[in-house]
Amino acid sequence: MVFALVGLVVLALLGAVHRYVWRRFVGDTTAPGSRLRRAGTVAAFVLPLLSVGAMTSGRVGAPFWLQQVLAWPGFLWLACLLYLTLALLVGEVVRPVLLRVLARRDAARTGAGSGTPSGTPTETSGTPTEAPDGTRPRTEELVTSGSAGVSAPSEAVARTASDASGPVAEPEPEPAATTPAPALAPLPSRRLFVSRVVGGAAAAAGLATVGYGTYGVLRGPSVKRITVPLAKLPRAAHGFRIAVVSDIHIGPILGRAHTRRIVDTINATSPDLVAVVGDLVDGSVADLGSAAEPLAALRARHGSYFVTGNHEYFSGAEQWIDHVRELGLVPLENARVEIEGFDLAGVNDIAGETEGQGPDFGRALGDRDRGRAAVLMAHQPVVIHDAVEHGVDLQLSGHTHGGQLWPGNYLAELANPTVAGLERYGDTQLFVSRGAGAWGPPVRVGAPSDITVVELASRQA
C-alpha cells in the first residue's frame, strides 16, 4: 500500500513537471496549431513513456534488444528533464527582470519620439503604442489610419468654400482606387520575446550540462590516489596498494567497451590487489555475461576480489557470483582471507536479506586475530557501525555514486553516513568511492566517476 502511494505521488510529480516544461518551452513560445507546437506536444507525451519503458523493461523481462532501444532515449530524457527544469526555475527569476527592463526601454523611446516626457499621454504624437494584446503596430499602419482620419474634415472645408463663391463646379471623377498594401504581421510582444529568450537560454544550459555529463561517463573513470594510515599495519605491508572500483553498472547502455576501459585503467596503476565492491551489473548473466568478460584480464599481485551490491540481487546474484569466479575474481561471501600484513574480509549486501543472503559480520570477522589490521569490503556505507563494532580498521564501500547528478548529493547525504571520500568513525576509517559507471542516465554532474588507488601506510614505517 505504501509503495503504491509513493508510486502515485512520483507519477503525479512527473506529470506536473512535464506540464511545466511543456508550457515554458512550447506553450509560451509557439503559436496555437503551429507545427512546432504539435511536435512539442507529441514529444511531451512520448519522452516520458520512453523513460517509463527504460526503467521497467528489465524488471518485466523484456528482450535485451528492446531494453537497449529504450535505455538511451528514456534514461537520457530523465537527465534532460532534471536540468531543463532547474534552468527554467532560474529563468523564473530572470523573466520579470527582463520584462521590466524592456518596458522601461520602450517607454523611453515613446517619450523621445513624441517630444514629450516619457509616460505623458498624447493624442497627436502618432507614436506607436503597444496594443492590448502586447503587440506593437507597424508604422505603415499608423500612417494609413492617420490619412483616413483627416480626409473627411478636408472635404467639408472645401465644400463650404465652394458654396460661398458661387456655382458649384462639376466634381472631377475620383481616381481609381488603388489596391492597399498587404498588412504586415505585428511585432512579437515583450512577453513572447522574453519567453523565447529565457526558453532558449534554459534549453542551451540544460542540454549542455547533460552533454558534458554524458561525455564524462563514456570517456571512462579517472584515477584518484589516497594514503590511509593503519595503526596495526606492519612495516612489511607499508605502501600496499588496493585499486578500489565500485558501481561499474554493466547494462543496456554501458557494455563490453565500458568494462574494457575500466580494466585497462586499473591495470595501468599496477595495484597489489583489486577490490570490486558491488553493483557490477544491471541485468542477467545471459544478457551481460559477455560484456563482463574483460574482467578476466585484471592483473594484481594478490588477486581480485568481489562482493555483491544491491543491484546483483535484482540481476540473479548466485549466477553472477559463479560467473565472476569463472572470470578469475574471488567472491567474498561473508568471508575473510589473510593477505600479506592484514586481513581482507567481505560481506554480502544488505539487499541479500530478502533472499536469506544478507551480511554476516560474525561469520566474516568473528574469530579473527584482532591484533592484525582488517580491511572490509562492503557495498553500502550504512554498515559502518557494524564494522566499528567488529574492530575493522578500514571499510571500502561504494553505492552512493557521490550523488551522480547534482543536487542528488544532498539526497544521498540523507541516506548515507558518507557520500564520497574518506572519513573516520571511532577507530574505523570509511572510504566511499563515487563509482566507475552510472545507473539510469549515463550522465554524471558534480560527481565524476573514478577508480581509487588506496595506499596503506604503516605507522611503524
What is the predicted pLDDT for the residue at 4? 77
Give tens-digit pLDDT for 283-310. Answer: 999 999 999 999 999 999 999 999 999 9
End-to-end CA distance of the chain: give it in Å, rounded.
58
**Which residue has better confidence, 159 or 4?**
4
The model's pTM is 0.81
Contacts of 381 (CB under 8 A, 6+ apart): 395, 397, 399, 400, 416, 417, 418, 430, 432
Q: Please state the rounded mean pLDDT for residues 68-87.
A: 97
What is the predicted pLDDT for the residue at 190? 86
What is the predicted pLDDT for the residue at 133? 44
Task: Look up cell 572490509; give the residue.
Answer: 376
Give tens-digit pLDDT for 346-377. Answer: 999 999 999 999 999 999 998 899 999 999 99
Position 149 confidence tier, pLDDT thresholds 50, 70, 90:
very low
Pairing of strands 241-245, 450-458: antiparallel
Q: Please state the rounded mean pLDDT for residues 233-240.
A: 95
Give tens-digit pLDDT for 384-409. Answer: 999 999 999 999 999 999 999 999 99
Going by C-alpha positions, the residue among 390, 414, 389, 387 that lies closest to residue 400 is 414
What is the predicted pLDDT for the residue at 379? 98
Does the pLDDT at position 183 exceed 60? no
